[in-house]
Amino acid sequence: MADDSQRNFRSVYYEKVGFRGVEEKKSLEILLKDDRLDIEKLCTFSQRFPLPSMYRILVWKVLLGIIPPHHESHALVMKYRKEQYWDIHHALRVIRFINDSTPQVDVFLRIHQLESGKLPRNLAFPLEPEDEVFLAIAKAMEEMVEDPIECYWLVSCFVNQLNSKHKDSLQQLPKILEQYLNIEDNRLLMHLKACAAMSKLPYDLWFKKCFAGCLPESSLQRVWDKVISGSCKILVFVAVEILLTFKMKIIALNTAEKITQFLENIPQDNTDAIVSKAVDLWRTHCGTPAHSV
Amino acid sequence: MAQQGNVGELLSMLDSPILGVLEDITAAFKDNLICDRGPMLVNNLVDYYLETNSQQALHILSTLQEPHDKHLLDKINEYMGKAATRLPTLSLLGHVIRRQPSWKHKLSQAPLLLSLLKCLKTDTDVVVLTTGVLVLITMLPMIPQSGKQYLHDFFGIFGRLSAWCLQNPGHVAEIYLVHLHASVYALFHRLYGMYPCNFVSFLRSHYSMKENLETFEEVVKPMMEHVRIHPELVTGSKDHELDPRRWKRLETHDVVIECAKISLDPAEASYEDGYYSVSRKLCTSLKHHQTDPSASYYVDTQSSYGTSTPYSTPRLTLSQMPGQLPQILSPQSIRQSTEPQQVTIWSPSAVCGMTTPPTSPGVVPSESSQSASQPYSKAFGTSGGKGTPLGTPATSPPPSCTSDDFVHVSLPSAAATPSKKEDKPDTGRPLLYRQQNVINSDKSLDTPSSKSSVTLSDLPEFLGGLSFEDSAEKDREEDAISKEISEITTDAEHMVPRGGFDSPFYRTNESLSGSQKKTHSVASSVQGHSQTSEPLTSSLDKPGPESARETPKQTFTPIDKPCGGSGESPAGNREGTSGETSIRTPSPYKVPAQRGVVSGSGQPPLYEHLFEVALPKTAYLFVGKKTEELLKKAKGTQDDECVSSTSPVEVLDRLIQQGADAHTKELNKLSLPSKSADWTHFGGSPPSDEIHTLRNQLLLLHNQLLYERFKRQQHALRNRRLLRKVIKATALEEHNAAMKDQLKLQEKEIQALKLSLQKEQARYHQFQEEHENIVAQLHSQIRQLQHDREEFYNQSQELQTKLEDCRNMIADLRLELKKANNKVCHTELLLSQVSQKLSNSESVQQQMEFLNRQLLVLGEVNELYLEQLQHKHTDTTKEVEMLHAAFRKELEKAKLCVQQQSQRLDASQKRIAELECQLAKKDHLFLEQKKYLEDVKIQARGQLQAVESRYKAQKRITQAFELEILDLFGRLEKSSLLKKLEDDKTEAAEAAEERLDCGNEDTVAGHSEEINGRNGETKPPSTRGSSSSKGGSSSELSTPEKPQNQRFSSRWEASVLLEPSTAVPLTVGSLPSSKSFLGMKARELFRNKSESQCDEEGVTINRLSDALKTELYKDPSMETKESSVGQLHIMDYNETHHDHS
């Protein structure tokens, strides 16, 4: 890599010794300095290292195609995005789908619906499951991003990416989960199977909503880093890690309903550790993330 | 044995009357003693002494040196054990000890001491006891620190003897007891003085016992009344006073004086420390008390004793006791009084065993007998003649004589004071001291009242008459001598009244000091003179109230010293008068006065005060010298004295011993009863034991005398020491005075120096001012000069600027000059060129002329050749040649051409290479451009995507709007239709229409639903298509619109088919038109954008649009045909729009 020459030669050793993320910020800055952003490299970077929070939104926007790789057009494109957002917003106001009191998340949903042409005839229409997913993700994203426009675009593009790019692989995830759980902890898997809880695990929450609402935002960001950069397998490992972490409790629970209920409301105190372990697990099982994209 | 014999011989010769032999023998003994270390000789000597009582032997024994002391002590110890030899042994021991041998410290370890103590404890002989006690008392100060171990023995002895005094167990003669008592009293003093704490504790323990109480009351208590509290009782302790360190500092005489200090007894005490006034008062009052009631002569004699022996206490006891003793002694005293003033060898003091030296009695009478007009020399001579029957040196009397003389001389002058004279007859008896007093008072009167001139003038005259021209010095010499025999003088003083008057001696003694004091007080103040003189006289007259009168006198004591000195020592007085009277300030006389009193109380150190009086005056002119001389003299006289003073004593001893036999005769006449008051036996033969008693008494007296002499020696020793200190102090004072003088001189010098310093400072200031002035001047000069300099500087600057200007001008001129030169050069050059051109043109002209001429020549030639040509035919050869030449030339030309061609080829080839290179570059450039273009494209695509999504959003918005509008329209029309239906109601059609309406409504709803569903289905493909058709292919574009149109139209048709009624088709029909219009718009937009790319496609689009138009045209036609409702506005709008487009 050409960037490696610019990076600190010690970075390799840092990683070897166990210091991760020493030079990441710098290398990311180097990457972001390129005029035409290399999306491939950014993807690799995001897979390999946790993103510094100050560049996270930018990287996500680039990776999700909200802004083009050229720095020059960023401002213009963002202007367009903004106008588009406000146009739709205005339209929705005109047709009285939203008003001032409408929650931001609903606004996002309506805009998304309008944009995708799925706007219901009137407000009374019940929400569809995909709308629920959108709302959950938007809620999580709203916590992470301050600017509503950026937030909307991120949510929208993220959902679109999930729906388009990962649609097939998402459906495979429960199976993969079972497989890895078998490797990691056979006994737990047996217990779950014995409880017939395997099919009733909160797959929607985990894989469709990408843990939005399950993990706190700080942990969620790190999971989404990987997802946005193209690896949805990380979701499986997060799920496995959650199961492993709360193994004792899960084993203590006998019924599938209870397990599901517990897993839907896991305690949020040490989720950072869970995510870190999950990332490690993911690395060990999928090798170098750079090549497993 | 030979030696033994030799010793015997020597001993026998020891007492030979021949002096030469005596000396030889003595020398031989001494040699023997030095050579021989054995005890034999000493033993022999002791034996001899005990046998013969030889003085020579005694002398040798008492001067024994170190190695023989042991033998001597052993021998004495040996004899001490035997009762027969005890007494002489003791007296021998006493003699030896009084000599203070160098080995005296060994006494404490010697067994002799033990045996002595034992003897004192056990012996019953009073004489032995008394002698032993005296020896012990003498010994005690010599061995103070070793007394510790025998302390209780001492105390025991004291207790025993004190009890003895009272109880008299041996029933010895009372007279012995008196002696014993005296010695016990001395022992008491010594013990109390040396070991106060121990002694007091002993007394406490011993006399707390009942059986001893009486002894205490009778004997010890009176003794204690004569001592003051010992300071050691307060500060010291039992152990401390036994501490050897305490004694180490003190010599024998120090110890003696220490003991004397604590005594209140005037006879015993020493008043060195200013205790005298109190003690004196006490003792005088005591004396008065004693004397007044008894008024017996015995007491008087006792008081005379008192000068030497501490008899105050026994006196008291005796006086209270039944008057046995006075009776016994009275004859003596009577006899003494009966033969007063007689110039005889026989002195009463000798009889009484007085310590007074034998000379004094001789002197005193001479004094009194001598007339006032007698010159001093005569007095000296007479005294010498009279006073030395006993071998007394003639030197002793002078002081007393001089004092006498002085008294006499001053007597006439004393006539000025009548009151005194009046007193004289009154008193009568104390004439001598009265005279002295008068003189003294006179003197003291004179001096303060500045009448000293008379006495001063008188004195030298008188002294001159006395052949004392060198008065002061000689007198001082005399003083020195007199000091040596201080004892004599003091005693003489006391003796005078005693001998002269039969009145009690104590009073003379007393009044002497008292009168002295008074005179001093008189001297102190002129005003107070008369007042003080009266008490003086009265006190003299009445001894009784004198004690009471003493107090006012005491008040004067601080001031009244000097005359005491003068009165006591005429020499000192004379010194004062001959020197300077003004010196007689009270302060320097303070000490002498005290000394005088001390001497008056019977203490030996008289010469001290003489010195003290003399010394302050030495501060004057020949002070230092005199003191030195005096010291020398004193030393010399001392040395002399040692010989001279001892000899009379020995003589006295001998006299007493030898004269005892002769004396017994007289004693027989006097009949002295021993045991009872046998007054009636007067004149009868005394019993034989009476003689024995007297002898013993004599012996005791002798012992006493020897003891007192020892004491005196101690005092003398001490006095010498003190004198040395005094001299030193005076020398230091002198030194101080000299230093002060020096200091004054130096101060003066300093002042002078200060003055000069001030002067110098003033001068310095002046100089400084001048200097400053000069400096100021110089400064002003400098300023002026600086000013000048500045001016000059300015001028020079001006000049410099001028110079600069000039230089500039010069430079300008030079430049101009250069320019001018240049011009000149240029013109010269031009000129030369012109000239050259001129020459050239000339040469050209010449050439022209030459060429013209040639031309002319050639023309002529040409004409010639033309003539020749005309004359001759054309020549072929010439032609061929010409052709050849032409061909050749052509060939050359061709060759040249070829060359040119090849060169061009090369050039073109190079060009080609260059161009290829350029081409490659261009290609590269193109690539780069392409890349860039790609980049830009991508960028644009990104932007475009954004725009497109926006556009799509817009589209969605519009759709939403349209839906909304349609919805609203639908509602509006429904309501209006309902109204119409209500208006044009036909009953038949009503039901059917209603039915239809219901179905229509349903269909409309279904349509809308359908549309919604279709939209949901169709949209994804459309978006997909739009996203894929970036280039904007017409076929793909058209497809989404056509089906829509068709669909709408079909729907419309269907609706028409279903119900050919008015409203619904119209509404539906309007939709496609608007839709098509929007599509047109989009197409137009698209076309505008990508016109250049797809020109061909544009044709199809046009065609399509045409088709659409036709369709649209159809629709309105149908609409117009079938509906009359005013919905045409939109259509019209559409049409017009189409027309325009």
Each residue's pLDDT tens digit, A215-268: 888 888 888 888 888 887 888 888 888 888 888 888 888 788 888 888 877 777
Q: Which residues in chain A are contacts of B938 at CB distance < 8 A?
A: 36, 68-70
Average pLDDT rounded to a whole number, residues B1065-1089: 47
Q: Which residues in chain A are contacts of B939 at CB distance < 8 A?
A: 68, 70, 72-73
Of B949, B960, B967, the CB nearest to A91: B960
Contact A68 B952 (CB under 8 A): no
Measured CA to CA, the distance from residue B912 to residue B903 in angstroms comes to 14
Contact B939 A68 (CB under 8 A): yes
Nearest CA distance, B942 vs chain A (angstrom):
5
CA triple B929-B932-B936, angle to 5 deg: 135
Give the count of beta carbons closer than 10 Å to the beta carbon of residue B346. 14
The predicted pLDDT at position A150 comes to 85
Contact A77 B946 (CB under 8 A): yes
Q: Which residue has the higher pLDDT, B614 or A229?
A: A229
Comparing alpha-carbon positions, the chain A residue that sits nearest to B966 is A121
Of B939, B957, B1008, the CB nearest to A91: B957
Residues 6 or more apart whose Cβ sits within 8 Å of residue B1133: none
Measured CA to CA, the distance from residue B394 to residue B359 in angstroms comes to 9
Q: Which residue has the higher pLDDT, B303 or B229?
A: B229
Candidate from B222-236, B444-458, B948-962, B972-986 with smallest mean pLDDT? B444-458
Asked if B518 contacts B536 with a C-beta cutoff of 8 angstroms, the reply is yes
The predicted pLDDT at position B814 comes to 94
Asked if B675 contacts B682 with a C-beta cutoff of 8 angstroms, the reply is no
Nearest CA distance, B988 vs chain A (angstrom):
37
Residue of B471, B480, B400, B470 lying closest to B433 (CA atoms) = B400
Asked if B204 contacts B197 with a C-beta cutoff of 8 angstroms, the reply is no
Q: Which residues in chain A are contacts of B1026 at CB distance < 8 A?
A: none
pLDDT, averaged across chain B: 64
Contact B942 A70 (CB under 8 A): yes
B161: tokens are 């003897």
Q: Which residue has the tokens 């009293």?
A: B185
Contact B963 A121 (CB under 8 A): yes
The predicted pLDDT at position B1132 comes to 43
Contact B942 A121 (CB under 8 A): no
Summarised one tens digit per residue, pLDDT across range B871-920 is: 876 667 888 889 999 999 999 999 999 999 999 999 999 999 999 999 99
Q: Which residues in chain B are contacts of A119 at CB distance < 8 A?
A: 956, 960
Measured CA to CA, the distance from residue A17 to residue A145 in angstroms comes to 34
Nearest CA distance, B1085 vs chain A (angstrom):
18
The predicted pLDDT at position B435 comes to 42
Summarised one tens digit per residue, pLDDT across range B618-662 is: 444 445 555 555 666 555 544 444 333 334 445 545 555 555 656
Strands (DSSP E) found in B672-822 = none
Summarised one tens digit per residue, pLDDT across range B769-820 is: 999 999 999 999 999 999 999 999 999 999 999 999 999 999 999 999 999 9
Interface test with B, best of A70, A85, A149 (most B CBs within 10 A): A70
CA triple B371-B372-B376, angle to 5 deg: 90
Measured CA to CA, the distance from residue A225 to residue A154 in angstroms comes to 12
Of A70, A72, A80, the CB nearest to B947: A80
Nearest CA distance, A94 vs chain B (angstrom):
8
In this model, does residue B458 exceed pLDDT 50? no
Q: Which amino acid belongs to residue B3?
A: Q
pLDDT band at B483; cut points 50, 70, 90: low
Greatest distance between any 2 Cα atoms in chain B = 253
Summarised one tens digit per residue, pLDDT across range B311-344 is: 333 343 333 443 343 343 444 433 444 344 433 3
Cα-atom radius of gyration of chain B, to the nearest Å?
85
Residues belonging to chain B with any Cβ–Cβ distance to chain A shorter than 8 Å: 935, 938-939, 941-943, 945-947, 949-950, 952-954, 956-957, 959-961, 963-964, 967, 1008, 1012, 1015-1016, 1019
Asked if B263 contacts B227 with a C-beta cutoff of 8 angstroms, the reply is yes
Comparing alpha-carbon positions, the chain A residue that sits nearest to B950 is A84
Contact B946 A94 (CB under 8 A): no
Q: What SS3 state is found at A215?
A: strand
Q: Which residue has the tokens 């006198």?
A: B553
Of A73, A84, A116, the CB nearest to B939: A73
Contact B939 A121 (CB under 8 A): no
Comparing alpha-carbon positions, the chain A residue that sits nearest to B1023 is A116
B1011: tokens are 């549309």
Cα distances (Å, whole numbers) of residue B729 to B623, B627, B634: 13, 12, 17
pLDDT band at B1128; cut points 50, 70, 90: very low
Q: Which residue has the higher pLDDT, A86 or B459?
A: A86
Asked if B250 contacts B203 with a C-beta cutoff of 8 angstroms, the reply is no
The predicted pLDDT at position B632 comes to 60
Measured over the CA atoms of residue B150, residue B156, residue B162 and residue B168, the dihedral's sign is: negative
Candidate from A42-46, A179-183, B569-573 with smallest mean pLDDT? B569-573
Summarised one tens digit per residue, pLDDT across range B838-865 is: 999 999 999 999 999 999 999 999 999 9
The predicted pLDDT at position B266 comes to 64
Q: Which residues in chain A are contacts of B964 at CB distance < 8 A?
A: 94-95
Q: What SS3 state is found at B94?
A: helix
Contact A114 B960 (CB under 8 A): yes
Q: Which residue has the higher pLDDT, B347 or A279?
A: A279
For residue B874, the 8-state DSSP code is P
Residues 6 or more apart whose Cβ sits within 8 Å of residue B878: none
A/B interface, count of CB pairs below 8 Å: 76
Q: Which amino acid belongs to residue A292?
A: S
Q: Which amino acid belongs to residue B735?
A: H
The predicted pLDDT at position A126 comes to 79
ipTM here: 0.74
B894: tokens are 């061709």
Asked if B104 contacts B710 with a C-beta cutoff of 8 angstroms, the reply is no
Q: For residue B16, is it left (φ>0), alpha (ψ between -120 and 50) or beta?
A: beta
Of B953, B1012, B1019, the CB nearest to A87: B953
Of B950, B967, B1016, the CB nearest to A84: B950
pLDDT band at A48; cut points 50, 70, 90: confident
The predicted pLDDT at position B805 comes to 94
The predicted pLDDT at position B1119 comes to 42
In this model, does residue A37 exceed pLDDT 50? yes
Comparing alpha-carbon positions, the chain B residue that sits nearest to A78 is B946
Average pLDDT rounded to a whole number, residues B1117-1141: 42
Contact B956 A81 (CB under 8 A): no
Interface test with A, best of B935, B954, B956, B1019 (most A CBs within 10 A): B956
Comparing alpha-carbon positions, the chain A residue that sits nearest to B937 is A70
Q: Which residues in chain A are contacts of B949 at CB distance < 8 A?
A: 80, 84, 115
Q: Which residue has the tokens 């007894």?
A: B265
Q: Which residues in chain A are contacts of B950 at CB distance < 8 A?
A: 80-81, 83-84, 87
Q: Which residues in chain B are contacts of A88 at CB distance < 8 A?
A: 953, 956-957
Q: What SS3 state is found at B342?
A: coil
The predicted pLDDT at position B874 comes to 62
Summarised one tens digit per residue, pLDDT across range B917-959 is: 999 999 999 999 998 888 888 888 888 888 888 888 888 888 8
Of B942, B1008, B1015, the CB nearest to A77: B942
- Residues of chain B with pLDDT > 70, as a percent, come to 46
Of A67, A72, A95, the CB nearest to B961: A95
Contact B942 A119 (CB under 8 A): no
Q: What SS3 state is found at A70?
A: strand
In this model, does residue B1051 exceed pLDDT 70? no
In this model, does residue A163 exceed pLDDT 60? yes
Contact A80 B946 (CB under 8 A): yes
Q: Which residue has the higher pLDDT, B735 or B344?
A: B735
Q: Which residues in chain B are contacts of A72 at CB distance < 8 A?
A: 939
Measured over the CA atoms of residue B1082, residue B1088, residue B1089 and residue B1092, the dihedral's sign is: positive
- Residues of chain A with pLDDT > 70, as a percent, come to 89
In this model, does residue B1007 exceed pLDDT 50? no
The predicted pLDDT at position B237 comes to 81
Count each helix (H run) and each strand (E run) in chain A, helices first. 17, 0
Nearest CA distance, A170 vs chain B (angstrom):
21
The predicted pLDDT at position B641 comes to 40
Asked if B1080 contacts B1014 with a C-beta cutoff of 8 angstroms, the reply is no
